[in-house]
Structure 1
Amino acid sequence: MQYISTRGGVAPVGFAEALMMGLGTDGGLLVPAELPQVDAATLRAWSQLPFQALALEVMTPFIGDEIPRDDLARLIEASYAGFSDPAVTPLREAAGRTYLELFHGPTAAFKDVALQLLGNLFEYLLERDGGQLNILGATSGDTGSAAIYGVRGKPRINIFILHPKGRVSPVQERQMTTVLDANVHNIAVCGTFDDCQHLVKTLFRDLGFKARHSLGAVNSINWLRILAQTVYYFYAWGRSTGGDPARRVSFAVPTGNFGDVFAGYLARRMGLPVERLVIATNRNDILTRFVADGVYAKGEVFHTLSPAMDIQVASNFERYLYYLLDRDPAAVCAKLADLEQTGALTIEPERLAQVRADFTAAAVSDAETLAQIRATFEASGYILCPHTAVGAAASQDAPETIVLATAHPAKFNEAVREAIGREAPPPPALTGLMDKPVRCTELDASDAALRAHIDAALPAA
């Protein structure tokens, strides 16, 4: 399998190089040159596989022979061995709804599904090829801790994670800043998540700096993040339909950076029988507005009860734009130039019709989020995290829709307590977290400050 850039400036590269490159050297995002197609017989065969075996089958066409199949199987098994549920991403029924629980990994969030594997793949390739990697990433809450836990203590990897100061939950902050391994560098940026993301992209576009420090990416700009997340769409479909290719399912996806819902879109393009994908946003509703009127326009970033979704500029939107514009890199570049110059891009009416065929979308307020947590708990005793509640509320008109439960509710107990008057019991991974020592550096939202900090931390690079 070869990978190319959404902006057309990267010669085709193999899986390993795409993994290490992260962001394309032309500033674009890497996508497979062709998408493998899954037929009805294959869907039936995959439908009852254990998660690990399914992951091996889904990922193999994208990886080819760059990693021997036995080695890939071993890496997948190791990546999910520590998950607290043997199903890895089990389905749960509560209050007449079905939830796909994605929070059974070491940091109790859906990011673990991809980042445990990504960390192990990085380590495997670096040991094989004798390399060194310095990861630079931004987080709106869960990516940072999942990435840190995926690579902590690995001798060939350093990781620098930026989070917006005061704009992640206390538990999310502690999950990052209490990891004291020497290869982990936490940075609190005085700004928003969009500021953090902009800093990361700015440094990746400086090809000299990127090469000098061997920078790699763990944000959802890294293709493996998307690929690993497609697996649980196939898994949920198989478990909910019995493997009947004539049966279609719908998914509601709490959405910030567009990576998780794009993974569902990718699965559907591969042949998974998906009826509809619901983009569920909070007050930061740039994607909901885009589906409504075809205008993708930056706005103010609002702080909400679902902070991982407090994003305006969604990185993976560019991957969707590439497919929407018939895989035309010149058209993608033109639209992105409009966004850069004017703060907005507009698609034509015929393209908007395609967007509405691909997605529905709804924005959910904080009040509606709390009401959803309360209603679900009162009906079933099941506690939703605020992000999951956004997904449930956004799809309440179609209760058969599977809602992606993206984080354990105990990570957001301030919102849970406000909704139901009690806290969610913490999973073992969060017990005692708030009592541990912390280490973190505070920086202005300045690329000069970030460059200086990385230069100082990696003097021999």
Structure 2
Amino acid sequence: MRYISTRGEAPALGFEDVLLTGLATDGGLYVPESLPHFSLEEIRSWRGLSYSELAFKVMHPFVDDAIPAEDFRRMLDETYGVAFAHKAVAPLVQLDTNEWVMELFRGPTLAFKDFALQLLGRLLDYVLEKRKQHVVIMGATSGDTGSAAIEGCRRCEHVDIFILHPHERVSEVQRRQMTTVKGDNIHNIAVRGNFDDCQRMVKASFGDQSFLGGKTQLAAVNSINWARIMAQIVYYFHASLALGGPDRSMAFSVPTGNFGDIFAGYLAKKMGLPISQLVIATNRNDILHRFMSGNRYEQLNLEHTLSPSMDIMVSSNFERLLFDLHGRDGLAVKELLENAAKGPVSIEDYRWRHARKLFDSDAVDDEGTTDTIREVFDQNEYLLDPHTAIGVRAARNCRRDPAIPMITLGTAHPAKFPDAVLRSGVKAEPSLPVHMSDLFEREEQYTVLDNDLPAVQGFIAKHWKNT
């Protein structure tokens, strides 16, 4: 399996190098040169497999011979057989006839990011040990990636972790999950700016790593890292098989800001899983909805909402879809994104209409979010976090066929966002699981820095442990 850049000017790489590289040298994102494809008969034969066994079937073609099969199986067993608090790993909860929530928050940090980042930490440790190499992880988070990355990678012997989050723009639970983890190799940086500012710094740093003095290299944990996308493909197969797939098609609604999680669903369909509809569920920061509903991609001012993990205006992984929509023409994608940095852009109508065959979208404001939390609780005594609530509202607004199961990805535990639950008027207070019950008593440690790239890079250069 080889990987190529979405901008067409970087060398193709194998799995190990893609794992460690993050952005391609031309600024693009890596995607597989070709996708594996599974027949309906083969997918049907996977019924009854454990989650880790299913994960091996889906992901092994992407890893290929870079990691021996028995070692990769062991990593998957350790990830999905130990790190998650529910034996089903991603249990499905029914809300109504053919309407479901897939709970992706049963991992150690209570968010869907655990599915990829618990595995990514093990993959990094394996590859870096083999290479006798040390790397610096630099990542930006709108709330959940940071804690999942720290939890997944904190025991890695060959990494230092620097996570940037927007100062005072994540929930208190999200912040404390990052800043209370102790370790000489863990560094949390609160940037006086928004998530897009943090993400721009990460991309700029990957583009020019000279601030590290040539002594190490950066590795990515954001969803620009292909391994993140690869791991998220699995739970689409898991949900389908649980509800009668592949002999019936499924629809999914995905709360998304950076487009990585829903892009995994798009890949699952291309790999042979029958999916009839993917709903892009966004908040007021609705660049993806504006594109999918009106073929206009335009960056507006970022707004702070009750669903902070989706407070994103520059959706990095959308580039991977644009690459496919443009017939895998990297130079066309590069030109489009350069124009998008200057103002609004559209794509050819026939390309946009091709995307609309699979994708629908909706944007849900804070009032709609809290209304949905209250509505679902009144109907089912089931408590949603604000991101999942947006997914449920979008699913109900965009659903094409009630006969097809609609599965909303439950991306986070409601205890991470008590303010949104309180504003909904629900007479229930979400409580943290036992392993986090003392979170508010733990000592925090983080550094607040200005929205200034040299200041952030200087901090990293000074504090990674091998300097």
Q: Please report the TM-score for the alignment, with normalisation by the length of structure 2.
A: 0.96
SS at match of 1:188: strand
SS at match of 1:73: helix
Q: Retained in 1: the 8 A contact 2:160–2:464?
A: no
Q: Displacement of 1:294 after TM fit?
A: 1.1
Please name the residue that 2:448 is paired with.
442
Please name the residue that 1:228 is paired with.
231
CA distance in 2, matches of 1:428, 1:151: 22
Q: Displacement of 1:459 after TM fit?
A: 6.9
Please name the residue that 1:402 is paired with.
407
2:73 counterpart of 1:70? no
Please name the residue that 1:145 is paired with.
147
Q: Displacement of 1:95 after TM fit?
A: 4.5
Q: Retained in 1: the 8 A contact 2:281–2:390?
A: yes
2:275 counterpart of 1:269? no
| 1:78-157 superposed matches below 5 A | 78-80=78-80, 81-96=82-97, 97-157=99-159
CA distance in 2, matches of 1:459, 1:128: 20
Q: Retained in 1: the 8 A contact 2:289–2:363?
A: yes
2:329 counterpart of 1:328? yes
CA distance in 2, matches of 1:259, 1:269: 15
CA distance in 2, matches of 1:48, 1:289: 40
Q: Retained in 2: the 8 A contact 1:108–1:429?
A: no
Match of 2:463 among 450, 457, 460: 457
Q: Displacement of 1:418 after TM fit?
A: 1.8
SS at match of 1:100: strand
**Alignment gaps of 5+ in structure 2:** none
| 1:254-403 superposed matches below 5 A | 254-340=255-341, 342-397=342-397, 398=399, 400-403=405-408
Q: Retained in 1: the 8 A contact 2:134–2:216?
A: no
Q: Which amino acid aligns with 1:46?
A: W
Q: Displacement of 1:425 after TM fit?
A: 2.3
CA distance in 2, matches of 1:164, 1:136: 14
SS at match of 2:49: coil
Deviation digits for residues 145-181 of structure 1 (CA, Å, limit 9, x no counterpart): 0000001132211100000001100000000000121
Q: Which amino acid aligns with 2:235?
A: Y
CA distance in 2, matches of 1:306, 1:352: 28
Q: Retained in 1: the 8 A contact 2:305–2:366?
A: yes
Match of 2:422 among 407, 417, 421: 417
Q: Retained in 2: the 8 A contact 1:95–1:376?
A: no
SS at match of 1:396: helix
Please name the residue that 1:191 is paired with.
193
Q: Which amino acid aligns with 1:260?
A: D
Q: Which amino acid aligns with 1:427?
A: P
CA distance in 2, matches of 1:323, 1:358: 14
The percent of aligned pairs where both chains have the same amino acid is 49
Q: Which amino acid aligns with 1:435?
A: E
Deviation digits for residues 163-222 of structure 1 (CA, Å, limit 9, x no counterpart): 000110000000000012111000000000000000000000104346543110000000
CA distance in 1, matches of 2:170, 2:221: 18
SS at match of 1:280: strand
Please name the residue that 1:159 is paired with.
161
Match of 2:173 among 154, 171, 174: 171
Q: Which amino acid aligns with 1:453?
A: F
Q: Which amino acid aligns with 2:137?
A: I
2:243 counterpart of 1:240? yes
SS at match of 1:450: helix
CA RMSD of superposed structures (Å): 1.3
SS at match of 2:360: strand
2:73 counterpart of 1:42? no
Q: Displacement of 1:5 after TM fit?
A: 0.5
Q: Displacement of 1:295 after TM fit?
A: 1.3
CA distance in 2, matches of 1:181, 1:105: 21
CA distance in 1, matches of 2:45, 2:211: 47
Q: Which amino acid aligns with 2:228?
A: R
Q: Which amino acid aligns with 2:447?
A: T
Q: Which amino acid aligns with 2:275?
A: V
SS at match of 2:66: coil
Q: Please report the TM-score for the alignment, with normalisation by the length of structure 1.
A: 0.97
Please name the residue that 1:216 is paired with.
219
**Alignment gaps of 5+ in structure 1:** none
Match of 1:430 among 436, 458, 463: 436
CA distance in 2, matches of 1:27, 1:154: 27
SS at match of 2:107: coil
Residue range with higher mean Cα deviation, 5-14 or 326-335: 5-14
SS at match of 1:296: coil
SS at match of 1:9: coil
Deviation digits for residues 200-248 of structure 1 (CA, Å, limit 9, x no counterpart): 000001043465431100000000000000000000010011x4x3410
Number of aligned pairs?
458
CA distance in 2, matches of 1:367, 1:165: 24
Q: Which amino acid aligns with 1:41?
A: E
Q: Displacement of 1:47 after TM fit?
A: 3.1
